[in-house]
């Protein structure tokens, strides 16, 4: 396998009875990148991650993780990976420190405890507390620490900031960037599209068990719809703008203020506006959320 590819799946399929969770997933994640994996509940995000670690077996297709086959080398892959599952469970009678030291023994003592201390200080996690006394958000913090503490080559994070307050979310994103700076590849799923937009190098959008789109953020956002706000010095006929290819009127006030949606190039709109007395012109870049929702606009019910 090419050492520039950390994760590759070809025709990956997974069924739960009659439910087709993954239909034919072709995916490549480059070594050293932060890859954001997007999709609604039931799209196949968690199933994909579990297949990568051989926690569940696919019904078809091929997988390579760090050059290894998860079916044959699952222990070797897990030794080199850090995994934060969407549903996390610890022994409730342990302290945070006890749980982390137990996991460290399973990893044969590979933990840098000074690094653990810095992580815990940054996310305000007291290692002396009992697991049973932790809130859901603090249990999520423990999960993050255990995924990061052995400085893995590959990080697989399923909704890493779920249940965390905004300040801690920012620190988590900083930790993810730091892991990548130290050489890790990061593959993470999230519903918080603003954080994906902030830190991901590339984005994959999964829809009904297949990959609908993979692109770097600039490409993905650059090819989508823009919104423009136009103010004229005097009333104009909106039909001049409405008749342009790829332009849709979203709102107008008295013929002097227009809000339009532009798909594709803005050249024709700019040239048309040049024939009118324009007082103000402003465009909005689309958010990743708007792009993401455009892939699901026609869905009426979620796919499990």
Spans of all domains in the chain: 5-221, 225-285
What span, in angstroms and rounded, lies between the C-alpha atoms of 176 and 159? 13
Q: How many CB atoms lie within 10 A of CB 175?
A: 20
Percent of the chain with pLDDT over 90: 60
What span, in angstroms and rounded, lies between the C-alpha atoms of 136 and 157? 17
What span, in angstroms and rounded, lies between the C-alpha atoms of 159 and 196? 11
Global confidence as pTM: 0.77
Reply yes or no on whether the pLDDT at 293 is more than 70.
no
The pLDDT of 193-204, averaged and rounded, is: 87
The upper half-sphere exposure of residue 142, i.e. CA atoms within 13 Å in the direction of its Cβ, equals 30
The pLDDT of 78-103, averaged and rounded, is: 93
Query: Hunting for tokens 């290819």 — which residue is that?
Result: 245
Residue 304 has a pLDDT of 37
Confidence of residue 197 (pLDDT cuts 50, 70, 90): confident
Fold match, 5-221 / 225-285: no
Reply yes or no on whether the pLDDT at 245 is more than 90.
no
Reply yes or no on whether the pLDDT at 204 is more than 80.
yes
Task: Give the 3-state secondary structure of 65-81.
Answer: ECCECHHHHHHHHHHHE
DSSP string, 71-121: HHHHHHHHHHEEEE-SS----TTSBHHHHHHHHHHHTTS---HHHHHHHHH
Pairing of strands 257-262, 247-253: antiparallel
53-79 tens-digit pLDDT: 999 999 999 999 999 999 999 999 999
Provide the 3-class DSSP secondary structure of residue 215.
strand
Look at domain 225-285 and name its CATH class: alpha beta
How distant is the alpha carbon of residue 246 from its chain centre? 29
Task: Name the fold adopted by 5-221.
Answer: Rossmann fold (3.40.50)
Which residues have a Cβ under 8 Å from the Cβ of 225 and sit 6 or more positions away? Answer: 261, 262, 263, 286, 290, 294
Please tell me the least confidently modeled range out of 155-159, 168-172, 190-194. 190-194
Provide the 3-class DSSP secondary structure of residue 188.
strand
Confidence of residue 217 (pLDDT cuts 50, 70, 90): confident
Q: What is the mean pLDDT of the chain?
A: 89
Residue 303 has a pLDDT of 39
The pLDDT of 176-205, averaged and rounded, is: 90
């Amino acid at each position: 396998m090419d050492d520039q590819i950390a994760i590759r799946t070809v025709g990956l399929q997974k069924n739960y009875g009659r439910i087709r969770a993954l239909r034919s997933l072709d995916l490549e994640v480059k070594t050293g990148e932060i890859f954001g994996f997007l999709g609604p509940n039931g799209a196949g995000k968690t199933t994909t991650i579990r297949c990568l670690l051989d926690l569940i077996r696919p019904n078809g297709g091929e997988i390579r993780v760090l050059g290894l086959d998860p079916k044959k080398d699952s222990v070797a892959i897990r030794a080199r990976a850090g995994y934060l599952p969407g549903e996390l469970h610890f022994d409730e009678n342990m302290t945070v420190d006890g749980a982390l030291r137990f996991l460290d023994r399973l990893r044969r003592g590979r933990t840098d405890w000074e690094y653990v201390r810095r992580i815990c200080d940054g996310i305000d996690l007291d290692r002396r507390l009992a697991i049973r006394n932790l809130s859901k958000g603090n249990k999520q913090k423990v999960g993050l620490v255990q995924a990061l503490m052995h400085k893995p080559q590959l990080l697989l994070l399923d909704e890493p900031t779920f249940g965390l307050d905004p300040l801690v979310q920012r620190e988590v994103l900083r930790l993810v960037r730091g892991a990548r700076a130290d050489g890790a590849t990061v593959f993470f799923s999230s519903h918080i599209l603003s954080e994906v937009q902030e830190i991901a190098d590339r984005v994959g959008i999964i829809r009904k068990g297949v990959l609908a789109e993979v692109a770097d953020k600039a490409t993905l956002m650059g090819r989508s719809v823009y919104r423009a706000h136009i103010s004229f010095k005097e009333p104009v006929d909106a039909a001049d703008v409405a008749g342009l290819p790829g332009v849709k009127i979203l709102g107008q006030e008295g013929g002097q203020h227009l809000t339009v949606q532009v798909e594709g190039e803005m050249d024709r709109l700019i040239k048309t506006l040049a024939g009118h007395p324009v007082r103000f012109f402003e465009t909005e870049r689309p958010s990743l959320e708007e792009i993401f929702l455009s892939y699901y606009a026609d869905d009426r019910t979620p796919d499990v």
